[in-house]
Structure 1
Amino acid sequence: MKHSRLSSLFNFSSRFGFRTSPGVSLYSTTTMYRPHREPSRGTLNDLYRRISRAGDHTAPISPILDQWIEEGRTAPKGALVTIIKELRQYKQYKHALEISMWLSDKRYFELTIADVAIRLDLIAKVHGIEQAEDYFNNIPKNLKVLEVYCALLNSYARAKLVQKAEDIMQKMRELGFARTSLSYNNLLNLYYQTGNTDKFNVLMSEMKEKGIVHDKFTYCIQISAYAAASDLEGIDKVMAEWESDPKVLMDWDSYSNVAISYKKAGNVEKALAMLERSEKLMSSSKRKRGAYEYLMTQYAALGQKDRVMRLWELYKKHMKIYNRGYISIMTSVLKIGDIESAEKIYDEWESSNLSFDICIPNFLIGAYTRKGLVDKALVDKAESIVNRVIQKGEKPDARSWHYLARGYLDHDQIEKTVELTRKALSVEGSRWTPDGHVVAACMEYMKQKADVEGAEEFIRLLGEKCSFPISIQEKLLDFINNEDSVTVEIGDLEWDRQNGVLKEADLGSN
C-alpha cells in the first residue's frame, strides 16, 4: 500500500509540477533548488539557438535540454523563463510547455505564481480546456490567486466558452479578485468576439460603477467592437478619450492596433495615419525588432509596397536579422502579390547561413503553386525550391509536399498529386490540414485503380496526421468499398461524389 501511494504521488507531481513541501523533491533525496548564476546573454542565445534549430515545432526538445546539461552547462531558471517567453511570442506553445515542465521535472525549480499561470495557459493551448481545468483544480490553494484565475478565464474566452467564462468571473467577484481591468478585459473581449453586444455594454457599465479604470487593452477592445460595427464615430470617440487619458499612454502597438480597426471599418486613410504615428514611436520601444516586423505586415495589408520595403531596409540597417525577420518580410511581400521581391529575399536568406526553417521556403512554394493554376512554370519553380532544400541536406515538411500536390492537381497530373500527398502523409511529427480538392482527387484515383489497400492506408494516415474524424474516415472507406453515393465534409469543403460536386460545406451539420 505504501509503495502504491508513493507511486501515485510521484505521478501527480510529474504531471503538474507541484511539490509536497518547499525545497523537497519527490524525485530525489537531494535539495530541489540550488541557486545558479544568471547566464550571460551569449549563453542564453546559444541555448535558444539550439532549440530553434530543431526546425520541426512538433518534435520533442527535451533531448536538446538534457544534452545541454550533460555537457556541463548551466540552465538557470531565469534563462529558461526567458526562452519560454520568446517561444510564446512566436506561438511555439508546445516547446514552451515542454520547457516549463522540464524546469520543474528535471531541474526541480519551484513554481512561482507567474510560472503556474503561464503553464495553465500553455496547457490550454496545447492540450485543450479539459486538461487546463484538470491542472487548475490541482493547483495548491496558496498559488490559486488572481493571475491564475485570469489565465483560466482567458483560456475560456479564447475557446469562446461564454458560460464557463461567466462562472469563473463570478467566482472571482466572490473572492474579491475582480477589482482590476485584467479580469474584465477577458470577458469584454469574449462578448465582443461572440457578438454579445448587450452583455458587452452591461459589463462596461459595471466597470464604470465600480470605478474599474481602463487600460490600453480596454480601449483596444472597445475600438475593435466599434470597428466590427463599422462605427467610425465610435472609434474616434474612444481614441479621443484614450489620448486624453494621462494614465494610459499610447505606444507603437496601441496605434498599430487602432490602425487595424480603422481598416476594418473601411477608412484606409486613417489606418495609414495610425501606422505613421506607430512608426514614430518605434525608436523608444524595448521591442523595436517586433515593431519593425509587425508594421511591415500591417503596411502590406494596406497594399503599401514602398513602405514595406522602406521598413525592411531600415530593419536590415539597425537590427541583426534572424529567421523571424525573413518570415515577416516574406509574408508581407507575398501578401501584396510581389513574387519577384519574395524570390530575391529568399535568395538572400539562403546565403545568410541562418539556421534552417522550412517555413521560409514554404512561403515561396505555396505562393508558386497558388499562382500555378495559370502558369505551369511556377509549379516547376516550386518543385525546384523543394529540390534545393533536399540538396542542402534539409527535409521538406508535409506542407511542402502538399503545396506541390495541389499545384500538380491544378494541371490534372493526378498520379503526381497522389504520390506527393502520400509523401506529405509520411512526414513524421507534422500535423496539417489537407486541401479538400486534393483528398477528393486522390480518393477518385485510387478507386479507379482499385487500390483498396493503398486507399485504406491513405485514410488511416489522414486520421493520424490530419485529425480526420472517424465519421469521415468511415465515409471514405464506404466510397472505396463501392458505395457510389457519398457526401463527405473535407476541411471546409463538401464532396458529393455522386454528383461530382466539391462545394463550401456547412460545417455545423456534423
Structure 2
Amino acid sequence: MGQMRKLGLVNSTDAYNLMLNFYANVGQYENLDKLLVEMNVKRVRPDKATFGICLTAYDATSDINGMEKILHTIDTNPDIVLDWTLYTTAGNTYINAGLIDKALEMLKKSEELIPRHKRRSAYDSLIKLYASIGRKDDLYRIWNLYKSSGKVFSIAYHCMIASLLKVDDIVGAEKILEEWESSNVLHNFKDPNSLAPAYLENDLLEKAIKKGLTPCRTTFEILATGYIASNQMPKAIDSLKEAFLLRRSGWKPIRDTLAACLIYMKQQGDAEKTEEFVKLLGIPSHMLTDDWEKLLDYFFDSKADVLK
C-alpha cells in the first residue's frame, strides 16, 4: 500500500477501493475509516463499491455506528448510485444486532432498488433474511414476486423450502415441494450436507416420494446423508445404492457419506453385502473389502473413471 502512495497511484476511486478491499480482507478494519477521511480530504468521490466494501466490513465486526455513518452518507448524497445489496447488508447487520425494526426498514429499501436482471439473486437473499427473523408473510410475498418474475429454478425452491422450515411452516414447505414436483424444473440438490437435516427431520422427501415425486440421484444422496446423521445406517446404504444406480458418468458421492457406509458394513461383518456394494462402486474385485481406507483412496483418487 505504501508503494502505491509513493508512485502516486492513490488518487482515484478505484485505487482507494483496492486499498479498502485489501484492509477488509486482512481484517485491518481500523484503516477503513482513515481511508474514507483521506478520500474526503482529497475530494475523491466514493462509489457504491466503496460503500459496499465498508458495509460488509462493518457487518463482519457488528459495527453499528460505523455502518450508520455510511448509511447517512448514502441517504444524504443524491449523486450516489444506490444498490439493493447495500441495504441487504445493512439489514443483515441489524438482524445480527437484534434491531429488527431497523432491519425491516433496510430490507424494504432494498426491495425498492432491485433491477429486473437481479431479481432472482435479490429474492433469494431477501427470503433468507426474512426467514431469519420469522417473517412468514414476507416470505410468501417475496416468493410470489419471484414466481411472477419468470422461471423459478431449483435453487429458489431449495431456498424457500428451507426458509419455511426455519419458521416452522411444515405444511407450507410440503406444498412448495409439491409445487416443485409439478413443475418442469429439475430436482437439482447441490448441497446435500446442508439440506439433509431439514428435509429428513420433517420427512419431506419421503412424503413427496410417496405422493409421486420421482427421486433423482441427489434426492437419494440427501437421504443417505440424513440417515447417517440419524444413525439409520441400513437406510443410508440403501439410499446410496439407489444414488449409484441413477448416477451420471463421473459423479461421486461425498467422501464422508461413502466412508460411513463402508465402515458400518465392515463392522457388521457381512462380506457378501460388502463385496456387492464395492462392486457397485466399480472398484476392482481383487481389492480387499476390509481395508475401507484403501477403497476410498482408490475410488476418489484414481484417475480412471471407476463409475463406467
Q: Which TM-score applies when normalising by structure 1?
A: 0.46
Establish whether residue 244 from structure 1 lines up as the match of residue 82 from structure 2: no
Q: Which of 90, 96, 112 pairs up with 1:258?
A: 90
Would you say the 8 A contact 1:260–1:271 is kept in 2? yes
Cα distance in 1 between the residues matched to 2:236 and 2:225: 7
Partner of 2:217: 396
**How do 1:105-504 and structure 2 match up within 5 A?**
174=7, 176=9, 179-204=11-36, 206-208=38-40, 210-282=42-114, 285-287=115-117, 289-290=119-120, 291-316=122-147, 318-323=148-153, 325-352=156-183, 354-359=184-189, 367-369=198-200, 371=201, 380-381=206-207, 384=210, 388-390=213-215, 395-397=216-218, 400-410=219-229, 412-421=231-240, 427=247, 428-430=249-251, 433-435=254-256, 439-440=259-260, 442-449=262-269, 452-453=288-289, 455=292, 456-463=294-301
Cα distance in 2 between the residues matched to 1:305 and 1:277: 19
Would you say the 8 A contact 1:414–1:442 is kept in 2? no
Task: Specify whether residues 358 and 410 from structure 1 end up closer, same or farther in structure 2 by C-alpha distance, changes over 3 A only.
Answer: same
Cα distance in 1 between the residues matched to 2:68 and 2:129: 20
Q: CA deviation at 1:271?
A: 0.6
Task: Specify whether residues 328 and 404 from structure 1 end up closer, same or farther in structure 2 by C-alpha distance, changes over 3 A only.
Answer: closer
Cα distance in 1 between the residues matched to 2:181 and 2:87: 34
Task: Specify whether residues 328 and 396 from structure 1 end up closer, same or farther in structure 2 by C-alpha distance, changes over 3 A only.
Answer: same
Cα distance in 2 between the residues matched to 1:447 and 1:364: 28
Residues 171-199 of structure 1: CA deviation (Å, up to 9, x unaligned): 798594x5433343344234324322344
Secondary structure of 1:254's match? helix
Q: Which structure is richer in relative contact order (CA contacts within 8 A, separation 6 or more)?
A: 2
Task: Specify whether residues 463 and 276 from structure 1 end up closer, same or farther in structure 2 by C-alpha distance, changes over 3 A only.
Answer: same
Q: CA deviation at 1:266?
A: 3.1
Would you say the 8 A contact 1:326–1:349 is kept in 2? yes
Would you say the 8 A contact 1:326–1:345 is kept in 2? yes
Q: CA deviation at 1:338?
A: 2.6
Unaligned runs of at least 5 residues, structure 2: 275-287, 304-308
> How many matched pairs?
280
Cα distance in 1 between the residues matched to 2:58 and 2:191: 38
Residues 172-231 of structure 1: CA deviation (Å, up to 9, x unaligned): 98594x543334334423432432234445544554454432111212322333333333
Amino acid at match of 2:266: M
Over aligned residues, Cα RMSD in angstroms?
3.9
Cα distance in 2 between the residues matched to 1:243 and 1:430: 50
Secondary structure of 1:446's match? helix
